[in-house]
Structure 1
Amino acid sequence: MATTTFSQLLVFAALVLVGHATRLPDGPIVRTQYGDVRGMYVEEGTIFLGLPFGVPPVGELRWKPPRAYNKSWAPDVRDGTVPGPACRQGGCEPDSNDYQHIFNRDKARTQSEDCLYLNVFVPRSVLNSTARLPVMCYFHGGTYNSGTGAALIYDGRILANKTSTIVVTTNYRLAAFGYLVTGEGDDDARGNYGTLDQIEALKWVQHNIADFGGDKDKVTIFGQSAGSDSVAVLLTSSRAADLFHQAIMLSVPFSITHKTQVEAIRLGNDFTKFANCSVGDMKCLRSKSADEILQAQDKVDDYIANPFRLLELFLQWGPTVDGDVLPRQTVDSFTNGQFQGKPFIIGTVLDEAILFIYSALSKPMSKVELDGAALAFLHGKGPAALREYNPPQTSDYRPFLSRAVTDWVFECSTRNVIRNSVQSAENDVWLYVFDHTFSSSFKTFWLEQPFCLGHVCHGEDIPFVFQTPKLINLTFTTDEQVMADTMAYHYGNFAHTGDPNKPSPYVYTTGNVLKTPLNWPKYNGGNQFPNMNFTTPQNVIVQDYNKEKCDFWDKENIYTGTN
C-alpha cells in the first residue's frame, strides 16, 4: 500500500516522476499498491480514469466470478487520463448519436470484455486537508444491458468538488456477459456476475481509496435505474454488508421482479440455442466471439420466461434470485426486515413511465388496448386498476397508462419499501420526488425521445445530480442551478454525516445554495410521511405524497415477488 499521502503527491509529484526517468505530461501522480498512476488536473480537482479492479473476465474466465486485480505495472507510470473500455453492449458505435452522453467518453467509444475498470474523481478540497474524505460510489443504469461508468454524463468532478467527497464510477458486466444462467453445475454460468463485479469494485475501494484521499469507513453507494436496483440488491446481500455504510437510490423499479433460477435457466437455454450451442455446452459458449454473444442476446430480447410476469420484459437481464448474492426478491427483503439497517435516501421522478410506454407504443393506444394491457400485466387485479384510474374517453390512453405504471412500478412500490423499512426500525431514511422539467437549453437531451419534452422522464434528474451539462457547454437557469446545488448540499451532508440536513463544513454552501436550506425530515408517520420535492424555483416538503393511489396499490399488494 502507498505510504505517501495523496495531498503530498498532489503538491510535489505533478512535475516529478517517482523513481522513473521518463517524463510524462504534467498531472498528479498517486502511488498505489500496483504502481504509480498519473491523472489529470481539472478546474474542480483531479481525475483518474481507467483503473483496473478485476482480472479481465475473458476466455475461460468468461462467466466466472471476478478476480481481484493483482498485477503491478511498476516501474511504468500508468496513464490515468484515458478511460478503460466499456463492457460489451449493443450500439454505442463511433458514428452513433449520443445526445445524452451515455457512451464511453473516448472518441472510439471503446468496448471490450476486458472492462473491469473504474474512475476516481478527487475534489480541490484535498489540497487543503489531511482528513480522509467520504466516498460516493456510483453504479450506472441502462437496464443491465448498456452503459458505462466512464460516460461523460456521470463525470464526477463537479459533484466531488461540491460535496467534498471522492466520487467513484465503475463498470460491471452487462446482459448475457454479466447475468447469463445456464444451470447449477460447477462449470455452468450461474449468473449475477455483474453484481459480483460491483462488489469487487467496492472491495477495491476498501483496499485502495486511501491512496486518493478517501475514507474507506465512509462509503455511500448510489445509482439510478438499474444502478439503483443494484443498490437495493446490495442492501439485501450479505456479500456486500461490510463494504459500504449508507445508500442513495434514484428511481428503483421495485415492481419489476428479478428472475428466479428456473426462469433464468429458461432464458439461458434459449440464448444457448441462438448461439448455436447445445444446452449445457459451456465450452461451445466460451468459444463464441463477443459479437456472436451479442447477436444471440438480441434474439432473446423478447423472450418470455414467465407469462405471469410480463413486466420482466422491461428488464430481461439482471440479478437472479439465487439464495446467495440475491437471497430473495428485494421487495420481499424490505417487507420482512431482511436487509441491512443502514441510512438511505430514495426517490423517483414525476413521470417515470412515459419513457418506457411511449418507446414501446409509437402509436396512440385505444381503450381496448389499454384494457388488454391491464389484464396481461396485472391479471386478476387489472379490472380494479382500471376502475381506480378510470380514464375518460379519449383518442390516446398512453398518458393514463404512463401514470398508472409510474405509480405501480416506481412511486408506490418505493413508498412501500421505505414504509416497511421504518416498520423494521430503520429510522434514518428520507424520501424525495423530483418534478422539474428541463429548460429549453436542454432540448437536445430528449432529441430521440421527443415525447419526453415537457415531462419529467426517467433519468431527467441525472444531469442535476452530477451537474455535467457544464462539460458539454450547456447551462442551467438560475433556478436550476439553485436546485442542483441544494441537491448536492443534501447528498454531500448525507455522505459526510449520515443526515442530509446535518451540515458538514466541507460541503459547498455558498453562491447558489439557499442561505437557509429547507429541512428534510426523516420519513415516518410521526413526521406525517414527508417527501422532499426537488423542484424550481425552490424545494418544498409535501406530506404523504400520492397517498390515494399508493394506498390502492398497497391494498392490492401487487409489488411483492409472490404476486
Structure 2
Amino acid sequence: MATTTFSKLVVFAALVFVGQAALITKPEGPTIRTRHGDVRGMYAEEGAIFLGLPFGNPPVGELRWKPPRAYNKSWAPEVRDGTVPGPACRQPGCGPNKIDYRHTCNRDKNRTQSEDCLYLNVFVPRSVLLNSSLRLPVICWFHGGHYMYGTGSAMVYDGRILANKTNTVVVTTNYRLGVFGYLVTGEGEDDARGNYGTLDQIETLKWVQQNIADFGGAKDKVTVFGQSAGSDSISVLLTTDKTTDLFHQAIMLSVPFSITHKTQLEAIRVGNDVAKSVNCSAGDMKCLRSKPADDLIVAQNEAGKYIANPFKPLELFMQWGPTVDGDILPRQTVDSFANGKIQKKPFIIGNVREEAVLYIYEAFSKPMSKLELDGIMLAFLHGKGPVALHEYNPPKASDYRPFLSHFATDWVFQCPTRNVIRNAVVNGENDVWLYVFDHVVSIKSIWHHKAYCQDHVCHGEDIPFVFQTPLLLNLSFTREEQVIADTMAYHYGNFAHTGDPNKASPNVYTTGNVLKSPLDWPRYNKRNLFPNMNFTTPQSVIVKDYNKEKCDFWDKENIYSARNKGK
C-alpha cells in the first residue's frame, strides 16, 4: 500500500482490535497507488474498502453494443474517491423509492443507474493492512439476477466480512445487463452480436491480472465465484478459451443448467422485437443507438413476454443472457461438460434444497389444479411429460405448486448439476466437490416481499451466509446459523488458498466462539460414493449419492441436453 504509512495502519488496526475505534477520530482512509493514479478508500473493522473503480471505458454512444475497452485514462494528480460506488448497470426497478428488502440494489442513496457502469469494488482484509507485502488469493464475485438485475455494489454482496474470514482479496463487479448486455441483431460488422455482459466479466478478470497486486492480491491465484446467473456466467467462462489464464478455480452456486442459452437465430428474433418496439428497422444500429435507455428497457420488458423457440419455454425464466455464438460460448454448457470441452480447473458446485419454489410461485400466483399441471408438463417437457409425471406420481392435492416446485428443482437445478459434475469427473477433472444448502434462514425480512419463501430454502437463501452481510445491516444470525456461515467461510477460504476445501490454511479465520468445521468434504467421485456436503443445522453432514433415484431418472432421459429437448 504504497502511499499509506505502515505506522498509521498499525495504529488503526490496534484501535479496531481493542474496540475503541468509535471513540476517536479515525485516520484518513487508506490510499493505494495504481497505474491510473492514487485512490483513497475507507477503513472498516474488517480491513479496507475501495468502491467504484473503473475497469472499462463507458459503453455509451457509439460504444453501446460494442466489446468493452479497457479503462486507460489517468486521474492523477487528483486522488480518486474510492468511498462511493459506481452506478449500477441499467435495469428495471431499483429506483430510489423502492423498498429493497434483500439489499440487491445499488448501495448509494439514489440507487444510481447508468449505461456508464463498468466499475468494480475491492475488499481488502485486515491482514493486508498489517503487512503490505502480502499477496493473498483473490475471490472475484459475479452477481446473479436473471442477467437483468443486480450490481456488484449491492450491500448483500459487500465483501468485507468474506475477505477477512477467508483472508482473501474480494472483488465484486458490474457487467452489462439485459438488452444492453445481450442484444443480438445479426452477424454483420456493425450488428449487435451479444455476449457483451460476458465480455465485461472477462474484462474484469483482465483488470484483476493487471491491478490486483496493488491491493495485496495474487493474480496467479484467482477464484471466480457466483450465484444463479453469476454462476451460469462461470460455467460459460469455463467453456471458452478466452479465459484460460485469467482464473484458476471456481465456485458455482445454483446454476440453472436446464435453461439453455439462445442460439444466434433465436436471439435475433428477440432483437427484432426490441427494434420494432422502439420504432427502428431490424438491424438499424444507428437508430437503436439513438434511443434513450428508458425506451430500450421498456422494449426489453415487452420482448421478454415472448418465446423465441416454442420448444424451449424455460427461456421465460431467463430471457436474456449469453448466446451460443461459436466463439465466446461455443455450445450449450451442459454439452461442453458432457464432451469434456471445459477448462480443467478445480471447482465447487451445488444448490439450495428448494431452488424452484421462488420461480414457481412467482409464475403462478394462484393454486394450481391437476389439469393445469398436466398442461404445464406437456408445454415444458413435450413428449417426455407423461413419463416424467409417471416417475414422480404426484398425489392428489388442492394445489400442485408444491409438487411442481419439487419437480422443477430436480429437473432445472439439482440433477443437471449432478450430471455436470459427474461428466467433469469422467473427463478427467478430479478436484471437484458437490454441496446442497439446506437451512431456512431465521431472518424473516429477507423474504418480506415474497411470503411463499418463508419457511422454505429458496433460490438465493445461501447468499446471506456466504457474505454474512446481515451482520452489517443490524440483523443477526442464530448461533447455529453463525456456525453454518463460518463453516462455509472455512471451506471456501481453504479452497481459495489451497484448491481444496479441506486443506486447512492457517490464514483462514473464523470467529473465536465458533469451532471450525471438523468435517472432511470428500472429492465427488464413485470411489468416495459420490459424497455431498449438506450445509445445515444443527451441524453440517456428508450425504452419499444425494437424490440418486430421481437424478438417475433425469440422466436416463437426458432431458437437460440441448440435443434432446422436445423429443
TM range (shorter): over 0.9
Equivalence for 1:302? 305
**1:317-396, aligned counterparts within 5 Å?**
317-396=320-399
Kindly indicate whether the alpha-carbon contact (under 8 Å) linking 1:490 and 1:501 is maintained by their aligned counterparts in 2: yes
Write the distance in 1 (CA, Å) between the matches of 2:364 and 2:181. 29
Give the corresponding residue for 2:180.
177
CA distance in 1, matches of 2:130, 2:31: 17
- Quick one: which amino acid aligns to residue 83 of structure 2? T
Does residue 277 of structure 1 match 2:280? yes
Give the unaligned 5+ runs of structure 1. 15-23
8 Å contact kept, 1:10–1:29: no
2:91 maps to amino acid: Q
* Partner SS for 1:46: strand
SS at match of 2:270: helix
Number of residue pairs matched? 550
Conserved 8 A contact 1:120-1:166: yes
Cα deviations across residues 259-310 of structure 1 (Å, max 9, x unaligned)? 0001001111111101110111100000001111111111111111000000
Please give the alpha-carbon distance, in whole angstroms, between the structure 1 residues aligned to 2:505 and 2:233.
Answer: 28
**1:328 shift after superposition:** 0.5
2:462 aligns to what? 461
8 Å contact kept, 1:329–1:561: yes
Specify the alignment match of 2:111 in structure 1: 109
Residue of structure 2 in register with 1:158 after alignment? 161
Q: What amino acid sits opposite 2:59 in the alignment? A: P
After TM superposition, the structure 1 = structure 2 runs for residues 169-248 of structure 1, keeping only pairs within 5 Å, are 169-248=172-251
CA distance in 2 between counterparts of 1:156 and 1:537 reads 26
1:502-541 deviation line (CA, Å, top 9, x unaligned): 0111001452443552100000000000000000111000
Choose from 30, 33, 54 the match for 2:32.
Answer: 30
The alpha-carbon distance between structure 1 residues 293 and 10, as it changes in their structure 2 partners (threshold 3 A), is farther
Rounded Cα–Cα distance in structure 2 between residues aligned with 1:9 and 1:209: 23
User: Contact 1:136–1:165 at 8 Å: present in 2 too?
Assistant: yes
SS of residue matched to 2:491: helix
**1:419-434 alignment to 2 at 5 Å?**
419-434=422-437
Q: Relative to structure 2, which stretch is displaced further, 504-513 or 465-474?
A: 504-513
Give the deviation of 1:5 after TM superposition: 8.2
Q: Is the 8 A contact 1:27 1:40 kept in 2?
A: yes
Aligned mate of 1:400, from 390, 399, 403: 403
505-514 or 366-375: bigger deviation:
505-514
Deviation at 1:240, TM superposition (A): 1.0
Q: Deviations over 1:202-258 (max 9, x none)?
A: 000000000000000000001000000001000111111110000000000000000
Q: Secondary structure at the match of 2:447?
A: coil
Q: Aligned letter for 2:101? A: Y
Q: How does 1:549-560 map to 2 (within 5 A)?
A: 549-560=550-561
Question: In percent, how many aligned pairs have the same letter?
Answer: 75
Q: Amino acid of the residue matched to residue 114 of structure 2?
A: S
Other structure's SS at 1:131 match: coil
Q: CA deviation at 1:8?
A: 4.7
CA contact (8 A) 2:490 2:516 kept: no
Instruction: Give the conservation status (yes or no) of the 8 Å contact 2:9–2:130.
Output: no
SS of 1:70 mapped into structure 2? coil
Residues 139 and 227 of structure 1 are in contact (CA less than 8 Å); yes or no, is this contact kept in structure 2? yes
2:407 corresponds to 1:409? no
What CA distance in whole angstroms lies between the structure 1 residues aligned with 2:44 and 2:402?
A: 44
2:6–2:130 contact (8 Å) kept in structure 1:
no
Distance 1:550 1:146 in 2: 31
Match in the other structure for 1:21: none
Report the equivalent of 1:504. 505
1:10 to partner: Cα distance = 7.1
- Partner residue, 2:533: 532
Instruction: Provide the rounded CA distance (Å) in 2 between the counterparts of 1:195 and 1:29.
Output: 31
Contact residue 482 and residue 512 of structure 1 kept, 8 A: no
TM-score in terms of structure 1 length: 0.96
Poorly superposed stretches of 4+, deviation over 6 Å = none
Separation in 2, partners of 1:510, 1:493: 16
1:77 alignment partner, one of 57, 76, 79: 79
CA distance in 1, matches of 2:499, 2:432: 10
Partner residue of 2:445? 444
- DSSP 3-state at the match of 1:531: strand
The residue that corresponds to 1:119 in the other structure is: 121
CA contact under 8 A between 1:154 and 1:169: conserved in structure 2?
Answer: yes
Does structure 2 conserve the Cα–Cα contact (< 8 Å) formed by 1:224 and 1:252? Answer: yes
Deviations 1:396-427 (A, max 9, x none): 00011000100000000000000000000100
Task: Tell me if the contact between 1:6 and 1:213 (Cα under 8 Å) persists in the aligned partners.
Answer: no
> What is the CA–CA distance in structure 1 between the aligned matches of 2:553 and 2:261, rounded to whole Å?
23
Q: Which residue number in structure 2 is paired with residue 472 of structure 1?
A: 473
Q: Within 5 Å, which residues of 2 pair with 1:540-555?
A: 540-555=541-556
Q: What is the letter of the counterpart of residue 102 of structure 1?
A: T
Deviation at 1:131, TM superposition (A): 2.4
Following superposition, the deviation at residue 547 of structure 1 comes to: 0.3
**Alignment correspondent of 1:62:** 64
Shift of 1:127: 2.7
Separation in 2, partners of 1:78, 1:10: 20
With over 3 angstroms needed to count, the CA separation of the structure-2 counterparts of 1:7 and 1:390, relative to structure 1, is farther
- Which residue number in structure 2 is paired with residue 147 of structure 1? 150
1:11 and 2:9 equivalent?
yes
C-alpha displacement of 1:12: 9.1
2:488 aligns with: 487
Show the counterpart of 1:311. 314
Indicate conservation of the 8 Å contact 2:419/2:555, yes or no: yes
Task: Tell me by how many angstroms 1:11 deviates.
Answer: 3.4
**Who is 2:21 aligned against?**
none
Give the match for residue 17 of structure 1. none
Cα distance, 1:450 vs. partner? 0.2
Map 1:84-95 onto structure 2 (within 5 A): 84-95=86-97
Letter aligned with residue 450 of structure 1: A
Which secondary structure does the structure 1 equivalent of 2:84 belong to?
Answer: coil
Q: Using the alignment, how far apart are the partners of 1:7 and 1:561 within structure 2?
A: 57
- Tell me which amino acid in the other structure corresponds to 2:214: D
**CA RMSD across the alignment:** 1.5
Kindly tell me: are residues 382 and 195 of structure 1, through their superposed partners in 2, closer, same or farther at Cα, counting changes over 3 Å?
Answer: same
Equivalence for 1:18? none
Superimposed CA distance per residue, residues 372-410 of structure 1 (whole angstroms, 9 cap, x where no aligned partner)? 100100000000110111111110000110001000000
Separation in 2 of the partners of 1:13 and 1:189? 53
The one-letter code sitting in structure 2 at the alignment partner of 1:343 is: P
**Structure 1 60/518 Cα, relative in aligned 2: closer, same or farther at 3 Å?**
same
Distance 1:291 1:150, change over 3 A: same
In the aligned structure 2, how far is the partner of 1:100 from the partner of 1:7? 38
